[in-house]
Structure 1
């Protein structure tokens, strides 16, 4: 047997491998780890800033994202350098929004329950009345790198109290400062007070000044603690609520006690006489309450089921109508003896070339009951002026007409391309046996077009299932159902109905809207999987 060829490198390759690295390569190698360290420090600083802002979950997510990036580009295999951006993008822009929306669906998150319980408690404890008799003017004086707050008697510039040197840093928590009486023997000043800061410089420190609580040594009760009232004044306040050791709040005006209600998401009175609640509420987990409301609340279930059925019919009718018209026009324009085919194809493609929102607004004017051209023609020919926007059936017919008009050019272009791929021999063979155009369409054209067109039709169905723009611009979901617990429109589809619940007519019920959005996702996914399975069986 012949000896195997030598795998030793060529003399040229061996010589090249012994060349010293270039200056640029050595410089990049020297800067690599300092650059990595700088990026790591920047990432950690960003994570710490998010955590310091009180967003622990967001900080953990950012830390995981940055950690994955450094591992992928420093330690993992070469392929992960290309895979990581796509995987990270899917996690951030697809998986995270889906999981976050699903999580909101298990809460009572709404315009009445926007805040956490901690922020609601802080808001209620911050409610107060100002005791005008104890208000005092103040001025701010530089003392080296720090500052001193000087309280003056009302209407005078005579100092009454002076604060110790303060750094005046912005903090999330109030800072209690014990003031010193402005008597000469009690002024621990290393130097005389500097002139008071002008208003322009005072404004720059207002956030830090607002966090100060000034304690007066020679007073007692509420008047001993002064709070920031404005750019020129501190004064005592009388709080509306006082926190108790068990976490409840005591209303100072009448002694009523309010405890947090974990089911309702409100601070609720404990007197048993009507259960007064305090606004605002806070966000709590309510389990499957939003989902059970869709299934078991009769006043909500009725419009919801009607809207769901209309959404499915709207999507199916749009896809069927656009496919029929688009395929028919594509076959017609494929007829070689038709003169001016290019001009016809260009004109028929115009609805797809014009931006959709412009076409929708044009049709909104054309269908106007009193001034629209469509009713003008119908009135001249048949003496009728249909109420397209007031009658539920006519409004749905109008939506289908406009949506099919916007969708058929896409199907027509697809079918035109698919027709070019059908071998001409098939039509020649059918002509020999005497088959006509109708037979050719059903036996040759349609079967060869439908199979490659099926995935696109499924995607068109999913698109129209969530076609929010058409509903919002043309009918806005109107006319509405009558006597419903939540406002709902006869022409609403699920996505526009969800939008109304979340942002328009129903108190911004984000929890319920998120539950419906999650349901929409699973419905579209299930129908798409079902269509794909049926298509696979049909092709087998």
Structure 2
């Protein structure tokens, strides 16, 4: 224990020696840091060797910044900011940039791989040389096995392999030799046992004495193979069967060959290529795509706006009514009106889906009993849109009601007392006092509600799934689809998984919602003044 004088001359204080645990932590600090660095470098190296140089570079920069911030004195001030900034980059900025980048490509279910990977895949294709194919049988020899090869019309083996362990792993070349006189083989394995060693057999390359290499062709055959394609220095591929040359077309994302009659033969699979603003141009200038897209965009705006308008009107009306002190059972009414907000939304949507069923739903049963009609809620576009608005307003008005109830409490009672002395009616009180005083602080929240409904995927997916569809469209599109459900349909359902086009639409949605967010911030700033 050391005694130290106080710099202010007010006595002394003592410093305790570090405990055993503190000394242990200090001793393990740098070894643990070195282990973490080595682990990070190993991860970066693994990603780089897999061919993802850009990912490896980004991860290396992130790890380097993290180690600098937490291991050096110069980065001390950033230690509390770094986790938030790193999370924002990884979970917000990176997905956004990656999605925007996909929007400039032809990435789809037919263009999943890069050009180099497609070329490698095609060059790996082989054809068997049928006249030289040999059958084989597998024979146990203790813990190991021997391969015996013979032609179909032969009973005795022509070639034998040395004993093999048959473990799956890297390709293995095995030299064959003629069987020695008097050598006896065990009975061949049955097909069921042969299947168990299929993976190990597929890794074998059998080499005959004349250096001919035999490759695995199936559960019963080995034989020599020849490549289907040969590569040229300019990146083109030549088909060995007929010598036709296929060159990469980076506009369409396929290896193509133009025939003398003008037709084009393409190879599958296609490759991912940069196509610039083609996806965005398609939205604007492709008439067959632009029609449904503009209709869906218009319906998205109308759906969001009408939902906010009706939910606000109903929610505000209920809030004003429940604010009346003389109403009996106000608590009971407030609880009942709050229930749509308390019940999980997806349950309410599925309940409404049953209620609106044309043949068995309670709503049509009531309409049929009263008016003799059974509306086709899910088949008629106008009725389907009306149904969506009804359900969405039902789910949304409690939120507005709660907000307005709180805002009404902040309005001074003196204003209503003065209005009553002047003989004003309840409608005058609402339009002259209540509405002007609550609409200003409510406006930013209504903009947020508009942005939420702009991307209300769950309602569309569970209630109508975008149906009924437009007729005679290039891409399947539903008349009740909104932009987000239409994007999902393009990317993952029945439109050929066109990820590039879906990413372009997603980028457009981002900018639209970002503009709404800016409006929201402006309105919030004005509401605070």
- TM-score bracket, normalised by the shorter chain, equals 0.7 to 0.9
Structure 1 residue 74 displacement after superposition: 1.6
The 1:113–1:272 alpha-carbon spacing in structure 2 relative to 1, beyond 3 Å, is farther
Structure 2: distance between partners of 1:296 and 1:163 = 68
> Which residue is 2:275 aligned to?
286
Residues 248-257 or 328-337, more deviating: 248-257
Which of 58, 62, 74 lines up with 2:55 in the alignment?
A: 58
- Check the 8 A contact 1:256/1:271 in 2, yes or no: no
- Check the 8 A contact 2:408/2:438 in 1, yes or no: yes
> Which residue is 1:134 aligned to?
133
Structure 2: distance between partners of 1:509 and 1:355 = 32
User: What SS does the aligned partner of 1:64 have?
Assistant: helix
Using the size of structure 2 for normalisation, the TM-score is 0.87
Structure 2: distance between partners of 1:365 and 1:485 = 32
User: What SS does the aligned partner of 1:506 have?
Assistant: coil
> Which residue is 1:72 aligned to?
69
Superposition pairs of residues 33-432 of structure 1, within 5 angstroms:
33-75=30-72, 76-131=74-129, 133-135=132-134, 137=136, 152-153=149-150, 160=159, 170=169, 177=173, 179=175, 181=177, 210-211=202-203, 213-218=205-210, 224-230=212-218, 234-273=222-261, 274-432=263-421
Structure 1 residue 264 displacement after superposition: 1.1
The 1:25–1:204 alpha-carbon spacing in structure 2 relative to 1, beyond 3 Å, is farther
- Check the 8 A contact 2:176/2:206 in 1, yes or no: no
> Which residue is 2:19 aligned to?
22
- Check the 8 A contact 1:176/1:215 in 2, yes or no: no
Structure 1 residue 371 displacement after superposition: 1.6
Using the size of structure 1 for normalisation, the TM-score is 0.85
Paired residues, what number?
514
Residues 234-243 or 303-312, more deviating: 234-243
- Check the 8 A contact 1:242/1:252 in 2, yes or no: yes
The 1:131–1:288 alpha-carbon spacing in structure 2 relative to 1, beyond 3 Å, is same
Structure 1 residue 37 displacement after superposition: 1.3
> Which residue is 2:440 aligned to?
451
The 1:532–1:27 alpha-carbon spacing in structure 2 relative to 1, beyond 3 Å, is closer
User: What SS does the aligned partner of 2:80 have?
Assistant: helix
| 1:88-129 deviations in Å (ceiling 9; x for gaps) | 111111111111111111111111111112222222233333
Structure 2: distance between partners of 1:52 and 1:518 = 31
- Check the 8 A contact 1:466/1:494 in 2, yes or no: yes
Structure 1 residue 87 displacement after superposition: 1.3
Superposition pairs of residues 475-486 of structure 1, within 5 angstroms:
475-486=464-475
| 1:282-324 deviations in Å (ceiling 9; x for gaps) | 1111111111010011111111111111100100111111111
> Which residue is 2:488 aligned to?
499
The 1:198–1:381 alpha-carbon spacing in structure 2 relative to 1, beyond 3 Å, is closer
Structure 2: distance between partners of 1:58 and 1:99 = 13
Structure 2: distance between partners of 1:80 and 1:182 = 73
- Check the 8 A contact 1:242/1:251 in 2, yes or no: yes
> Which residue is 2:461 aligned to?
472
Q: CA RMSD in A?
A: 3.4
Structure 1 residue 251 displacement after superposition: 2.2
- Check the 8 A contact 1:164/1:179 in 2, yes or no: no
Residues 371-380 or 441-450, more deviating: 441-450
- Check the 8 A contact 1:360/1:470 in 2, yes or no: yes
- Check the 8 A contact 1:135/1:233 in 2, yes or no: yes
- Check the 8 A contact 1:451/1:539 in 2, yes or no: no
- Where does structure 1 lack aligned partners over 5 or more consecutive residues? 1-5, 185-195
Structure 1: distance between partners of 2:9 and 2:208 = 87
Residues 529-538 or 62-71, more deviating: 529-538
- Where does structure 2 lack aligned partners over 5 or more consecutive residues? 1-5, 181-187
The 1:9–1:230 alpha-carbon spacing in structure 2 relative to 1, beyond 3 Å, is farther
Structure 1 residue 45 displacement after superposition: 1.9
